[in-house]
Structures are given as C-alpha cells and as structure tokens.
C-alpha cells in the first residue's frame, strides 16, 4: 500500500526547530532560512564565480558543498539548501542547458520526437553529484539540509519556451494547442523529478522544496490540469520516505484552493498577500515566508518593522520565516544579518499587541 502522508519522527521535540515547524508545530520562535541564500549577494560567492562556471559549481560536489556552507559561515541560519539549480537534472535527460545568467535551453522541446528522445534515467543516474554533495554536507552540517527540484510545469516552462520570458507565449500556446504533447512531457518530467528527489532524500536531505516558480502565470483550470496534478504526483511518491515537503508557487494567490489540496506539509508564499490572510486559505499547512525581497534593500529600521509585522501575522500556527522569493544580488550582506537577528529575537508565544 502506498502511504499518502509521511510520518514525523516520534521524538519530534528533539528535532531542530526548522523540522519541528515544518511538521506543524507552533514553535516559540520562527526558524529562518533564505531562498538563494548562497549566491551573488555574497562576496565570497562572487570570488569563487571568478574561478569556476556556474555548472562547475553545481557538478563538482566539493565545490557545491563549499558554496552551500558560505551563508552558514556568516549567519546563524536554521537550515541549509544544497547548492544546485532546478535545471540541473535535465542534463541527465539529454537536454543541453546554459546559464546567461538565467537558463537557456539549446534545443527547445516542442515535437513528439523531442519528447520521445528525453531519457528518464534511474534514480542513481540523475545528477549523482548532487547526492554526493548532500552526503558531504551531512558530515559537517549542524542544521537540517534541504534538497530541492523544479516542479514539472516549471521545468516544462523553460523546456518549451527555451528560456525565461515575461509572458511565456510559446508555452501558453502549447498548453492550449497541444495538450496531449504537454501531458506526455509532464508525465516524463514528473517521473524523473520523483526519482531525483527520492535520490536526494536517500542521500541525506532532511526536507525537500518543490519550486513551481511559474505556476502563477496560469488560470486555476490550466494550473489544475498541467500544474497541480503533476506536482501532486511527484510529492505523493515521496510520502513513504518520511521527510516534510515544501511547495512554492510565485504570484499564485489565486490558486490557493488548488494548493491547499496538494500533499505537502508546508507552503512557501510570496509577499503579495499578508500571512494571516494566507493562513485562512491554507489552514492545514505550515506557512513559509513572506518578506518582499526588495525590503532587504531598504534601511534597517524598515527591515525591522516589516519583519515584525510578518512575525505577528504568522502567530497562531506553524511559521518558517523566509523571503517571498529569492534574495536580490544587490542586497547588502549586513542587512540580512539584521533581518536574521530580528527574527530570532522575536518570541512568538509572548503577548503581542
């Protein structure tokens, strides 16, 4: 029998704060990590980037582990996320991806033959260097390690369109005009992604996040058909491994009814809707978020006020603090230090006016 829900450990009170919050506990303080916490806003990342290409940094396990640890050496973060990219496993399927700096697919996938040619490798043949980086990291890390993947619809977005775009017209036309081909592609991507995440968990990832960055482009019916159904397929395949699952879609407040039904313990939300209102739409989930990343470019006083507002709105349920989306490369590193300090000093169980 396939289990539909993972089971938390029996000694959950001994677990790190981040995992307790993901399993639904209303913790005394909100754990914090930051999307893209290893990246270009850090001078030590830019220094490594002078010597190595982005792909080298992903594919060389020692380098990937080193980059993962950079933000943890600087800040008392509550979780680490393995350094990689959502596009990484596509190379194992036979897709050629470059970064300029966003992903560019050399030969976009649009015909039956293109889809037919995509390989769905065995679990241990999908980017094995990511598993190796995870094993290296688990030997030294003192906080939980997050593994991740792109959701099928978001991977298909880049594969069909070929690169990032404001409106994604080719993708949207494809979903309406070639639904059978879209389903065939999404089916393969879902199978590959389930295997890839199982590999990461078996290597030592203690939580996973599924990034559906472009899901918010779509109406609810299109999202149900091509987005949520395949994300659910991937997530269901992880239930027996007993790690908490986080899902993120950006600009997706209009899709919360569908998102509420996904088999995940936690939902990461962007900054467009206040957290207390999101809580009403997603009452059974841990909420992760939701500081607007641009606020980290504002003066420290503004960062403090806005972070405290989010912390107050998060009271009354499980909350993991994060940004609403990835940190901007122009963020001053000391502003992030200030944010983490504000979040970690906030007592969620004290009376708040």
CA gap 45, 57 in Å, rounded:
10
- Of 46 and 349, which has the nearer Cβ to ligand CP3? 46
Closest distance of CB 101 from ligand CP3, Å:
4
Q: Which residue is nearest to ligand CP3 (CB)?
A: 213
CA gap 165, 177 in Å, rounded:
19
**317 neighbors 286 (Cβ within 8 angstroms):** yes
Closest distance of CB 250 from ligand CP3, Å:
6
- Of 81 and 190, which has the nearer Cβ to ligand CP3? 81
Closest distance of CB 40 from ligand CP3, Å:
5
Positions that interact with ligand CP3 (CB under 6 A): 35-40, 49, 54, 81, 83, 85-87, 99, 101-103, 148, 164, 211, 213, 250, 325-326
- Of 111 and 330, which has the nearer Cβ to ligand CP3? 330
Closest distance of CB 45 from ligand CP3, Å:
7
- Of 8 and 39, which has the nearer Cβ to ligand CP3? 39
- Of 84 and 286, which has the nearer Cβ to ligand CP3? 84
Query: CA separation (Å) from 198 to 64, 88, 177, 194, 345?
Result: 19, 15, 33, 6, 35
- Give which of 120, 157, 140 is closest to 65, Cα–Cα: 140
- Give which of 6, 12, 1 is closest to 263, Cα–Cα: 6
Closest distance of CB 180 from ligand CP3, Å:
26
**60 neighbors 129 (Cβ within 8 angstroms):** yes
CA gap 121, 152 in Å, rounded:
16
CA gap 15, 93 in Å, rounded:
36
Coil, strand or helix: which one is 298? coil
- Of 35 and 182, which has the nearer Cβ to ligand CP3? 35
Closest distance of CB 166 from ligand CP3, Å:
13
Closest distance of CB 18 from ligand CP3, Å:
15
Closest distance of CB 325 from ligand CP3, Å:
6
CA gap 249, 239 in Å, rounded:
20
Closest distance of CB 64 from ligand CP3, Å:
10
Peptide bond into 245 cis (omega under 30): no
Handedness of CA 108, 112, 115, 117 (dihedral sign): negative
What are the strands, taking DSSP E only, across the chain?
Answer: 80-81, 97-99, 103-105, 145-150, 207-212, 245-249, 266-268, 286-291, 319-323
- Of 54 and 129, which has the nearer Cβ to ligand CP3? 54
- Of 6 and 71, which has the nearer Cβ to ligand CP3? 71
Strands 103-105, 97-99: parallel, antiparallel or unpaired by DSSP?
Answer: antiparallel
- Of 143 and 250, which has the nearer Cβ to ligand CP3? 250
């Amino acid at each position: 029998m396939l289990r539909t829900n993972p089971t938390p450990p029996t000694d959950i009170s001994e677990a790190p704060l981040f995992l307790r919050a993901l399993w639904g506990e209303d913790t005394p303080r909100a754990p914090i990590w930051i999307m893209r916490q290893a990246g270009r806003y850090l001078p030590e990342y830019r220094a490594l980037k002078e010597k190595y290409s982005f792909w080298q940094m992903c594919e060389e396990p020692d380098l990937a582990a080193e980059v993962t640890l950079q933000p943890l050496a600087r800040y008392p973060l509550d979780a680490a996320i393995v350094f990689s990219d959502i596009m990484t496993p596509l190379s194992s399927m036979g897709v050629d991806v470059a970064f300029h700096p966003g992903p560019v697919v050399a030969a976009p996938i649009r015909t039956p033959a293109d889809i037919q040619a995509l390989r769905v490798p065995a679990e241990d043949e999908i980017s094995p260097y990511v598993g190796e980086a995870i094993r290296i990291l688990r030997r030294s890390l003192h906080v939980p390690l997050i593994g991740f993947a792109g959701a099928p619809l978001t991977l298909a977005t880049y594969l069909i369109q070929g690169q990032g775009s404001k409106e994604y017209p080719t993708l949207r036309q494809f979903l309406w005009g070639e639904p059978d081909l879209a389903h065939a592609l999404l089916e393969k991507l879902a199978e590959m992604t389930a295997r890839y995440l199982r590999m990461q968990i078996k290597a030592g990832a203690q939580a996973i996040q599924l990034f559906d960055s472009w899901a918010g482009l779509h109406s609810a019916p299109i999202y149900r058909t091509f987005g949520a159904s395949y994300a659910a397929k991937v997530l269901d395949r992880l239930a027996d491994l007993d790690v908490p699952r986080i899902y993120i879609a950006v600009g997706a407040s209009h899709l919360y009814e569908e998102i509420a039904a996904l088999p995940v313990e936690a939902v990461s939300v962007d900054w467009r809707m206040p957290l207390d209102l999101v809580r009403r739409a997603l009452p059974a989930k841990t909420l992760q978020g939701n500081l607007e990343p641009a606020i980290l470019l504002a003066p420290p006083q503004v960062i403090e006020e806005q972070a405290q507002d989010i912390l107050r709105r998060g009271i009354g349920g499980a909350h993991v603090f994060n940004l609403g989306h990835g940190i901007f490369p122009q963020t001053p590193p000391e502003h992030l230090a200030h944010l983490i300090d504000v979040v970690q000093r906030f007592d969620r169980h004290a009376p708040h006016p």
